[in-house]
Each structure stands twice: as C-alpha cells, then as structure tokens.
C-alpha cells in the first residue's frame, strides 16, 4: 500500500460521516502499475473496472491482480477462468480493451495524488491578486459580451474579484466561519492582496503559518468553485458544504506534505494548529 494512502486511509470512515468521499478527492497516478489493482482500484475512468465491466470481472481468475499483471509492454495479458462466450462478456471485453488500449505504464511507483493540488490553489490565489480570474467585470473589461456585470448570486453588486471572494453574502458567511475556526477575531479581508499579506506574516511559528495560508487559500478556491457551480450549473452550494470541502482538502494537504504525520481528522476539526 502506498505511503500516502497508509497515512490517510485511517480517516476514510471519519470523513464519510461528514459526507466527504475520500476517493473523490484522491486519484491514482499510475507508474509501473505494480501497486494498483486492475479491477478493484479506480485508475482509469470514473469508476473501477469491476463496476464498469461486471461480466468480464466475473471471468477474471485473480480478482486482486495488479495493472502490471494485465498490462505488459503495451500488451494485454488476460487470465480468464473460462473462455468468454456470452454476448455480454465478449462485448464488455471489447469495450474494456478500447478503454485501456492507449494507456501506458511508466517506470516508478503508483502514487495517490490529491485532485486539488495545493500548488494549483496557490496559482489561483496569485491570479486573484492580479485580477486575472474571469469574473463578470474582468470579462467585460476584456471586451467579452455578457448580459450583466452584476453578481448573479446576491444581485447586490458588480461581480469583481473582491466581491466574489470577500464581499458576496456567501463569502462573508464562509469567512466568518473560517476565521472563527482559526480563532482569529476582528479580522476582515477586502482583497486577495490583503489576505496574502496577512497570512504571510501571521504568527511566529512557520508550520502554523503554513497551515493558515493553506486554509485561507483553500477558502478562496472553494468560494470561487461555489460561484462557478452557481453561474454554470445553477447549483447553490450550502455553507456547510463549502466549509466541509475546505476542512477536508486542507487536511489532506497536511497529511500529504508532512512526513510521519499523525494528525487525526477529529483533532483537525477541533484544533487544526496541532
Ligand atoms: Zn454577490
């Protein structure tokens, strides 16, 4: 079992209690395919091959076989219990072959990767600071015709970066929650620049500061995601959902980054500056 998975597998059930699916947050990046189960792990497509191709799976002799057992030098090596005969099994195998025909293993270990990398969020933060995220106002400035610059979530003001991330009703409530969770009183941010400057010089412990930076950056990212889900899918994300996403994602970043991390989900929820 890969190290990262060892570190976080213990919290899977805890997270499920909060309706957070760890498997949605983590994906497998395949190296040589020696540590990933061909049928039972999710490594190609949105579900396991067992779920996608149940008839073919029934015929597999070794249900726990690894990718490297079935894919060798670009060739597929099957080991069926009996020759596939039924129409369902034959057509499933044909589909399965086409799904993995372009897949190639590479040298190295298989790794679990957080679907939302902290580097990506840092990059988002910098773009927000430079007013380079596609808000309604930013689009208008670039000459892109949109129906209105007004925020479609609260309908109270023009939608620029500061509005989406700090002033919109959802943002205000999320920040209230996050700042109180971090035990930071009487703090209020008006811009990405202000937030970054505050987090960068906060406190005297480097490790705690990094946790705070992750929480703050993660918060802006999930506020932006909630805004996009509303604008493009008409989905109103609840405050609880945004908060849970922030807590669980930053928790995984911590687990992933720190070696020998013994941080437990329940402790994290109560006091994250451990
Ligand atoms: Zn708004």
Ligand 1 center–CA 12 separation, angstroms:
34
- Identify whether 40 is part of a domain: yes
Q: Decide which of 89, 109, 129 is a domain's last residue.
A: 109
Which helix (H) or strand (E) is 247 found in, with range? helix 239-257
Residue 173 sits in the same domain as residue 96: no
Q: Are residues 148 and 35 in the same domain?
A: no
User: How much is the pLDDT for 16?
Assistant: 55
Q: Which pLDDT tens digit goes with each residue over 21-49?
A: 555 556 678 899 998 999 998 888 878 89
Say which residue the tokens 């061909």 belong to.
38
Same domain, 263 and 225: yes
- What's the 77 CA to ligand 1 centre distance in angstroms? 55
pLDDT digits (tens, 9 = 90+) for 113-139: 655 666 778 888 888 888 888 899 988
The answer on 207 and 97 residing in a single domain is no
**Ligand 1 centroid – CA 196 distance (Å):** 22
Give the chain's length: 274
**The domain boundary residue, chosen from 84, 109, 134:** 109
CA of residue 202 to ligand 1 center, whole Å: 28
User: What is the domain count for the chain?
Assistant: 2
Distance (angstroms) between ligand 1 centre and the Cα of 259 equals 40
Asked if residue 240 and residue 129 are part of one domain, the reply reads: yes
Q: For residue 10, how far is its CA from the centre of ligand 1 (angstroms)?
A: 39
Report d(CA 207, CA 273) in Å as an integer.
9
Helices and strands (H and E) in the chain: how many: 15, 4
Strand boundaries in the chain, DSSP class E: 26-29, 71-72, 75-76, 111-114
Both 210 and 230 in a single domain? yes
Is 5 inside a domain boundary?
A: no
pTM assigned to the model: 0.64
Look at the alpha carbons of 247, 250, 255, 258 in this order and tell me if their dihedral is positive or negative.
Answer: negative
Q: Is residue 95 part of a domain?
A: yes
Do 175 and 102 belong to one domain? no
Residue 12 belongs to a domain: no
| Other CB atoms within 10 Å distance of the CB of residue 7 | 19
Give residue 132's pLDDT: 85
Q: What is the CA(190)–ligand 1 centre distance, in A?
A: 14
Q: Measure the N-to-C terminal CA separation of the chain; round to a whole number of Å.
A: 27
Instruction: Please identify every stretch of the chain with a pLDDT value under 70, giving residue numbers as ranges.
Output: 1-27, 112-118, 256-261, 271-274
Is residue 182 within 8 Å of residue 214, measured between CB atoms? no
**How many angstroms is it from 221 CA to the middle of ligand 1?**
16
Q: Which of 63, 78, 109 is the last residue of a domain?
A: 109
CA 260 to ligand 1 centroid distance, Å: 42
Asked whether residue 6 is domain-assigned, the answer is: no
Instruction: Please indicate, yes or no, if residue 203 is contained in any of the structural domains.
Output: yes
Distance 124 CA to ligand 1 centre (A): 19
**CA 203 to ligand 1 center in whole angstroms:** 31
- 198 and 99 in a common domain: no
d(CA 106, CA 157): 51
Domain that holds residue 237: 117-270
Are residues 141 and 252 located together in one domain of the fold? Answer: yes
- Tell how far the Cα of 126 is from the centroid of ligand 1, in angstroms: 21
């Amino acid at each position: 079992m890969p190290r990262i998975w060892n570190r976080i597998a213990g919290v899977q059930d805890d997270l499920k209690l909060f309706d957070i699916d760890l498997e949605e947050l983590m994906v497998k990046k395949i190296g040589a395919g020696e540590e990933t189960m061909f049928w039972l792990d999710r490594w190609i497509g949105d579900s396991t091959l067992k779920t996608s191709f149940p008839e073919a799976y029934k015929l597999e002799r070794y249900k726990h076989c690894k990718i490297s057992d079935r894919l060798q030098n670009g060739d597929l090596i099957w080991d069926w219990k009996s020759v596939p005969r039924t129409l369902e099994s034959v057509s499933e195998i044909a589909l399965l072959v086409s799904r993995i025909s372009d897949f190639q293993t590479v040298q190295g270990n298989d790794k679990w990767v957080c679907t939302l990398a902290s580097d990506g969020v840092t990059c988002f933060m910098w773009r927000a600071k430079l007013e380079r995220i596609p808000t309604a106002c930013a689009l208008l400035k670039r000459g892109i015709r949109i129906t209105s610059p007004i925020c479609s979530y609260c309908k109270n003001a023009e939608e620029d970066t500061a509005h989406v991330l700090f002033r919109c009703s959802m943002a205000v409530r999320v920040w209230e929650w996050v700042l109180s969770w971090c035990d930071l009183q009487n703090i209020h941010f008006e811009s990405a620049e202000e937030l970054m400057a505050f987090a960068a010089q906060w406190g005297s412990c480097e490790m705690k500061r990094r946790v705070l930076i992750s929480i703050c950056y993660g918060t802006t990212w999930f506020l932006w995601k909630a805004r996009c889900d509303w604008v493009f899918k008409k989905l109103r994300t609840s405050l609880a959902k945004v908060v849970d996403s922030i807590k669980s994602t930053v928790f995984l970043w911590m687990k992933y980054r720190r070696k020998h991390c013994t941080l437990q989900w329940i402790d994290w929820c109560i006091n994250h500056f451990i």
